[in-house]
Structures are given as structure tokens and as C-alpha cells.
Amino acid sequence: MPALLIEKTNSSDSKKAKVALSVFFNIMDAWRVKAKDQITLLGSPSESTYYKWKKGNVSSLSPDTLERISYVMGIYKGLGILFPTREQADAWPNKSNRDFNGLTAMEYMLKGSMINLWDVRRYIDAQRG
């Protein structure tokens, strides 16, 4: 592969990773999620990696991490559609929910499996109709 193409691909991956993480961290701030819980939602990277990402030092993200961020973004967007105010939407992940056996959606997502993020995303999508 020509060097210019490799450089362009790496630059694109880096930009995509930085944008994805920036959006993720903004959502985490809105939802008031602690750093240790953010690490879990991201798929448990090392703390040093997490803090590098938080500072914007990232060249690429694994498909797993990108998928996790995608689910979080979809949940955030869906909540914005369901609720009349952003304040209500941002409070929802931390309210207990009988559909998650009394857990909050955040507690359910923090079980750590990708399927938990997918379940919450699917739940929000179903509520939207």
C-alpha cells in the first residue's frame, strides 16, 4: 500500500476515534457517570489507556469499543426523542426501571457485556415505536 494511502487511513481512523470518544465523554458528563463506570462501558480498557483517551491521545479504537460507543450514542439520541427536555432524558439512565428488574438502565449496562448495552438500546427503540 502506498505510504500516502496508509497515512490517510491512519489519519481517518484517528479522527473517527477522537470524535467517537469526544461524544462518548460528553454523554458521560451529561449522565454523571464515574470514570470507573465509563471504563466498564468502554469494554474495560486499562486505566492508563482510558486516561490517554480522555486527554484525546488515541490513534484508533477496536471495533468492540466503537460498537459500545455506538450503542451509548443511540441510547442518548433515543432518550432525546422520548423525553420533552434534555434534563429528563439525561436523568432516565439513573432511575430504577421495572423492565430491568428494578435496576437502573445504567446499573444494567454496567454488568459489562455488550448485550446489556444492546438490550438498553433495543428497549429505548421499542419505546419510541
pLDDT in tens, 75-114: 999 999 999 999 999 999 999 999 999 999 999 999 979 9
Q: Is the pTM of this model over 0.75?
A: yes
Give the side-chain half-sphere CA count within 13 A for 3: 0
Q: What per-residue string of b and e applies to 64-100 under the rule 16 or more CB within 10 Å gives b?
A: ebeebbebbebbbebbeeeeeeeeebbebbeeebeeb
Instruction: Provide the pLDDT for residue 11.
Output: 59
pLDDT digits (tens, 9 = 90+) for 11-67: 588 899 999 999 999 999 999 999 999 999 999 999 999 999 999 999 999 999 999
Q: Which residues contact 80 (CB under 8 A, 6 or more apart)?
A: 86, 89
Q: d(Cα 98, Cα 94) in Å, to the nearest integer?
A: 13
- How deeply is 58 buried, as exposed, middle or buried, from its count of CB atoms within 10 A (0-12, 13-18, 19+)? buried
Helix (H, G, I), strand (E, B) or coil at 104: strand
Rounded CA-CA distance 69/74 in Å is: 9
